[in-house]
Homo-oligomer: A and B are copies of this chain.
Amino acid sequence: MAELSLPELDPAGDRAVFRQIADHIRDAIGRETLREGDKLPSEAQLMQHYGVARMTIRNALQVLQSEGLTVAEHGRGVFVRSRPPVRRLASDRFARRHRDQGKAAFIAETEGAGGKPSVDSIRITEVQAPVEVAERLRLGEGDSVISRSRRYLINGQPVETAVSYVPAEIARGTRIEQPDSGPGGIYARLEELGYQLDHFVEEIQSRMPFRDEVRALKLAPGVPVFRLVRTAYAVDGRPVEVCDTVMSSDAYLLSYELPAR
């Protein structure tokens, strides 16, 4: 602990002791006295330094963890969380010129950035459209859709889960029902089927992940997720696909261009 030298507690202030301790450590991280990957003093050392009970120290560490600033590793220590390289999603990523290259957007981009893309957990089923999907596809309740769910990884690290829905009427019996949807992905298949794509609408929300999302994306505590729902529209105005994705928020930066006119 000699190297860190955290301040003393302020006994006068009415701010709770565990909050003061969290403040000290947070400040040290902010000033980069503690940097990404650095190990914090152990709980025992912090108890010693501040002269408080263990639960008080653990409360302080809990605060930092839920802020996404630190991660605890059982048996090793508590560390300043390091952020993975950010993947930028630009708004032209579904432009036809990319589709024509014969690779799905994710593969093309990841390789372009020097990463090793992979896709797993591919599951294809025909189901009744969930309400949110039916609304976006302008289907009635009970209408069925082909659902393609999969998980995207970069260098073996999961970053995104996605479920695509295409009206069964369109996709049944086509390659969209196959695990490998072929060169250019399902958007290329849709165009081959005569549904020339016109535009997409992406709707973005952010929230803390559900339990299954924490598992599927191997999320650290204190990391929110983006939920991005993309609807693809054909030139005649008909929505032909909905893609519901959940992304680790610290793996992505989303970028969009908006007209000013």
Contacts and interface: CB of A to CB of B under 8 A. Distances in A.
B258 A258 contact: no
A198 interface: yes
Contacts of A225: 206
Interface stretch (A37-45, A161-169, A248-256): A248-256
A259 B92 CA distance: 7
B208 A258 contact: no
A193 interface: no
Interface stretch (A2-10, A60-68, A144-152, A171-179): A60-68
Contact of A254 (B55, B204, B255): B204
Nearest to A197: B260
Given A96-B261, A261-B96, A208 B222 contact: yes
Contacts of A202: 255-258
Contacts of A96: 260-261
**Size class of A's contact patch?**
35 or more
B206 A206 contact: yes
A258 B204 contact: no
A104 B131 CA distance: 35
A224 B250 CA distance: 12
Given A68-B207, A224-B249, A250-B207, A201 B259 contact: no
A143 interface: no
A258 B256 contact: yes
A205 to B, nearest CB: 5
B224 A208 contact: yes
Interface in A214-231: 221-226
Number of copies of this protein chain within its complex: 2
A91 interface: yes
Nearest to A187: B260
A131 to B, nearest CB: 15
A199 B250 contact: no
The listed residue with most B CB atoms (<10 A of its CB), out of A94, A223, A254, is A254
Contact of A201 (B26, B197, B198, B255): B255
A126 B84 CA distance: 35
Contacts of A68: 207-208
A67 B257 contact: no
A211 interface: yes
11 contacts: A66-B221, A187-B260, A199-B257, A199-B259, A200-B258, A200-B260, A202-B256, A204-B255, A205-B249, A206-B226, A208-B222
